[in-house]
Amino acid sequence: MATSNYPIGILQYIPFFYVIWSDDLLSASEVSVVKKTIEDDPILNPDEKKQLLLWLNREQPPTEQEFKRWKQTIASSKVKLVESDTYPLAFLSQRLGNAYCDQCDFNEHLKHIEINLGIQPNHYNHLFDVEVEHEKTSNLYNAASFDTLLKGNHSAEIDAFRTFLNQDIFKWSILRDKDAFRNKVLKQVSLLGEKGYGAMAYPKPYGGTDNMPSYAAIFEHLMFVDGSLAVKFGVQFGLFGGSIQKLGTKKHHDIYLGDAGKAKLLGCFAMTETGHGSNVRGIRTTATYDKKTDSIIIHTPGQNDNKEYIGNALHSKMASVFAQLIVDGKNEGVHAILVPLRDENHDLLKGVTIKDNGYKLGLNGVDNGKIWFDQISVPRENLLDKYGEIKDDGTYFSTIKNPNKRFFTMLGTLVGGRICVAKGALGGAKMALAIAVKYALNRRQFNDSVKIQEDLIMDYPTHQLRLTPAVASAYVYHFTLEEIMQRYSNDAQVDKRKIETQVAGLKSIITWFANSTIQECREACGGKGYLLENRITDLKGDVDIFTTFEGDNNVLLQLAAKGILSDFKAEFNSAGFTSVLKLLRTQLSDKLSTINPIYSNKVDSEHLYNSKFHRHAFDYRTRRLTYTLAMRIRNYIKKGIPSYQAFLKVQTHLLALGKAYSVDLAYQTFSEYCTTIPDEKYKSLMQKAGALYALNELHIDSRWYLEQGYFGGVKSKAIRQRVERLSTELRPHIEVLVDGFGIPQHCLTAPITK
């Protein structure tokens, strides 16, 4: 039995003191945690408490000689650090005590320090100079339980779909030939349609289950198979079929919707034009009603007025064409018309020109093309006329009299596509994170001794900081999109304008998040991440375009910001706008009452981890940006500057508000979801993930908060440190968290994950 110069009571605290002094963890809040533990510890006698409390004095830290004695005491004991222990450092302390006495009682109080200081010893191994029993992950949580949470109400549909995907036709492979790739994806989409997956969101009479949320869930899963498959699936069933479902009426449903859902009628969604991009209202393609023939003439007036980047263009027989509807010489605004493209032999119809867009950065399994129309005549009945019709007498009629409202109502019905785009991008990020994390849990590199095994790269704090906040964000965004899709699918909510605002913002921040995350994952895997076989490069190319289609992100964020302003139902140049400003000013003054030197520099862990603080910070930023934006626009208009020019002058402000609002919305939605998790253990970990997301976002935007005086420099630094600390705290559970994404094993085929 070894002997120690320290009493047993003090001995068990030595590993903790060694860690907190070596890593300088002792901020004021940490001192209070350790101090309270010592004072409440019944095992310690008064002299032992006195000695330990002396070692907590930041003004007179332990001497270097004392520090070396601690290390020698630990090293001489020959104890082992076991990473998979629930409380690794506390259990190490117990082993240390047992090394110097016959049978020491385990000091339960030590767990309190480990939990509250967030100490994870996986990167302190060399400090202790003890044998380490390496474990890649903790077994405290079950990945299947997280998967169950993520599946939500779609569990049966998702489980069945995962099984369905486990067949040769869906196996990922490297295909460099564009035509072979496209043909493979076409066969996959056809099979999905045949088995009823394409029609899930359609009404039951047309082969569906009227289940848009489950459709969105399986769309995300297709990203685990291949991005091209997910996009072509979305074009065929979501955009083409969705436009028939949402913009058409029963006559269109009866003729086309069933076949579209089964992929018997292949179609495309022809909205975007080369010369007008995101400006849908300004598209130039015309649909002129000819009363003599009772038909609509579709025409591309100029060379750059063609439909551009249209997915499914080369395989389609029909297109939902968005054009300016002209009746009796009057432009009634943008409407959708079903236009045949090819005959039964798949030959182009006269007047239709389609050219291949060619090779792209990614998604080369999708047949994108350009389409021109030269005086194509289609029956009047081909107008998708739910919101605007041409009556039998040749006159135009709509129940929505305001052209602006009619336009946005039509586009609002297609918001579900933007949710699916966000979910697809998030699926790509999940896949990349799962690959990068699993690689980091296998790959070893460097240490400070040739005698021991090299360290896992996942155990390096820098690597944790690269990947862990992104894993936390993926969970936040998943549950946010689930909730938003439920709201969108609720037919009781007739007015979808608020949801359109929410989706515009979320689509933007989530697709940007996905792109930056996939890039970080590529770099985190080094040269292995650059190999096609490891999937991340494909994900990188495929998801890149998600920031552009279904709405350019910068445009969408401005749309979201304008939606936030319009929620106040006041025109900028009306008397009512003054009352709006007064309301905002009052709300801000209430918020500002808490912003004082004490609050702006409050740094204890209880405060920084508290969701009330996070919600307050996000809400304050959203309201502050809304108020200052409204004031700037009002001031410009008062000077006689036209509204359009006023908005141009505040574009960067609009983007800042759109992003702030979307982050606020995501965190609020996730926080509310966490309260519904029945298992306290899993709720606690999800709340910790939420705290990491919140603090990371606050850290990213710390410049704004510092400018506003909401943070002091001390608090900003503390937030950065807490992001690092939380990333380390989640390290033992990181593999369980990415396994909790539920990516089927038969899809996770990258060699570096093995």
Question: No. of H helices and E strands in the chain?
Answer: 32, 13
- Which tokens hold the place of 708? 């506003």
**Cβ contact 657:556 at 8 Å:** no
Active site annotation includes 550: yes
Helix, strand, coil content of the chain in percent (nearest 5): 60, 10, 30
CB atoms within 10 A of CB 63: 9
Residue 497 has phi, psi (to 5 degrees) of: -60, -40
Cα–Cα distance list, 80 to 135, 141, 299 (Å): 13, 23, 78
Cα–Cα distance list, 151 to 608, 742, 743 (Å): 30, 8, 11
Per-residue 3-state assignment (H helix, E strand, C coil) for 723-743: HHHHHHHCHHHHHHHHHCCCC
Burial class (CB in 10 A: 0-12, 13-18, 19+), 726: buried
- Cα angle value 361/543/321 (rounded, 5°): 80
Q: 340: which strand partners?
A: 318
SS3 425: helix
DSSP conformation letters of 593-623: TT-SHHHHT---HHHHT-HHHHHHHHHHHHH
Cα–Cα distance list, 656 to 70, 517, 621, 730 (Å): 51, 21, 10, 30
**Cβ contact 210:350 at 8 Å:** no
CA distance 720 to 342: 59
Active-site option among 83, 220, 482, 550: 550
What are the residue numbers of the active site? 550
